Amino acid sequence: MKKSITSEVSSGQKEQVVRVMVDAVRKALENLVGELAEEGGLNKANFQQVLAQGGILGTRVADKAREEFMTLSGQIIGYLRLCSITTVGATDGKGTIAEDNEVFSGGVDAEFQDFPKTDVASQPTPETPVRVFSIFNRGRFKQIFGAFGGSLDRLCFTQSQIIQFVKDHPEYFRSEGHETFFLFKEVNTFFVVGVYRSCDTLGANLYSLSSNLTWGFEYGHQVIVP
């Protein structure tokens, strides 16, 4: 089940967040205005002009504050924006993408055959919470997944989990050039699977994590991580 990325907070908690942010912004603006006045950037000649444009400045500050707030709250991570939180069901670990002609009836990348390492079963896995991100800033796979920080292993799915996610959540897979990406690791090598829809069937592409391809927001690509 797809879950909202927001949870209910009380009106008092909302007010507390606003108060903290307003106090911080006010202090920063007081320092900024003082510096501009000392440097001559704010003077008698342009005072009224700056005052008249205060509303525009407020809008810009709010837009920037929204971006920073989403970053602080984990809704923006590097090149990605959090869309939703859901789960992938438990698996027996036996499934591999290259051999699953039922789920990927649209075919799998020939690269799966060229890299025998990718045709390896895994251990069983329990139901696992996952996060669904959209790509909003152009980057390569190493940059996109590296933005999470720490070990990449914690961002990996097993192949069985990827297959199970596709079964559980067909709504995440669209056509028109859209791909949904998953990171996985076999024999100490990281790969990225890109699942896509073509007409009424699903297919899978295989990429190296070190691929020089760049991915942006134009086609609504998504990244799924545990």
pLDDT exceeds 70 at position 117: no
Region 16-21: mean pLDDT is: 77
Residue 157: DSSP 8-state: P
Three-state secondary structure call for residue 202: strand
Region 204-223: mean pLDDT is: 90
| Confidence (pLDDT) at 106 | 75
pLDDT tens, position by position, 168-204: 998 888 776 789 999 999 878 899 999 998 888 898 9
| Confidence (pLDDT) at 200 | 83
pLDDT tens, position by position, 132-141: 999 989 999 9
| Confidence (pLDDT) at 89 | 94
Mean pLDDT computed over every residue of the chain: 82
DSSP per residue, 13-81: HHHHHHHHHHHHHHHHHHHHHHHHHHHTSS-TTTHHHHHHTHHHHHHHHHHHHHHHHHHHTTSEETTEE
Q: Where are the domains of the chain?
A: 11-73, 77-225
Region 118-126: mean pLDDT is: 78
Most confident of 23-37, 114-128, 199-213: 199-213
Region 49-77: mean pLDDT is: 67
pLDDT tens, position by position, 74-98: 578 889 999 899 999 999 988 888 8
- Count of all residues that appear for the chain in the document: 226
Residue 217: DSSP 8-state: T
